[in-house]
Amino acid sequence: MKEELAVPGTFLGFEEEFVAGNHAFEAADGGVYSTGTGVKRLDPQNHEASVEASTRNVRILRPGDIVVGVVSAVKSNMIHVDLKEAEKNNETVSVHNGAGFLFVRNISTAFVKSTDEMFRIGDLVKARVTLVESYGIELETISPELGVIKAFGSRSRKPLILIGGNLRDPSTGETESRKISTDYLLR
């Protein structure tokens, strides 16, 4: 079983099931939350939720890290991406600030006529971190392996299948365009 990293404020369980143990507290909403950084531990025998202090260093996102996220908004000059996971050199990286921004200049080397032709809300995106700031994380998808790795039909919301370089909706038969990654999942 994979160990789950807990940072301050991470939900551990409900107070009906667990009491707060080391590095944990019970909140007014009935939840038990982490007060420190470490590994989440749930002890069903003693009904205790705690956080075991981590002996490893937690590394936050840095420029060059590869992230995967879900497009949450498409605007004329930028794409908002909710970051879900990150990796660099096969090492999992903690995502503390889940707000990623993909500006139109960082989408492709080719001219981008419209951002909504490149990305749509709900698309799963693979991108590279270019800048980490307090307001969010700037991303880019210029490389061929970066871009949409799973897309959904605009009308049917069914996963689109990559056939001969085109994304086709299996329900309607319509094709749609995106900034497709070479790692697109459905072929």
For residue 69, what are the β-bridge partners?
83, 125
% of the chain with per-residue pLDDT over 70: 93
19: left (phi over 0), alpha (psi -120 to 50) or beta: beta
> Mean per-residue pLDDT for 71-86?
92
Backbone angles phi, psi at 185, to 5 degrees: -80, -35
pLDDT of 85: 86
The H or E element spanning position 118 is helix 115-118
pLDDT of 140: 96
CA distances in angstroms from 126 to 49, 84, 87, 88, listed in the order given: 34, 10, 11, 13
Q: Do residues 117 and 106 touch, judged by C-beta distance below 8 A?
A: no
Q: Per-residue pLDDT for 182 more than 60?
A: yes
The conformation of residue 137, written as its DSSP 8-state character, comes to E
For 111-166, what is each residue's pLDDT tens digit? 888 888 899 999 999 999 999 887 789 999 999 999 999 999 988 889 999 998 88
Identity of residue 134? S
Q: Which of 42-56, 75-89, 105-119 has the lowest mean pLDDT?
A: 42-56
Domains annotated on the chain, with CATH? 5-53 (2.40.50.100), 66-149 (2.40.50.140)
Q: Per-residue pLDDT for 58 more than 70?
A: no
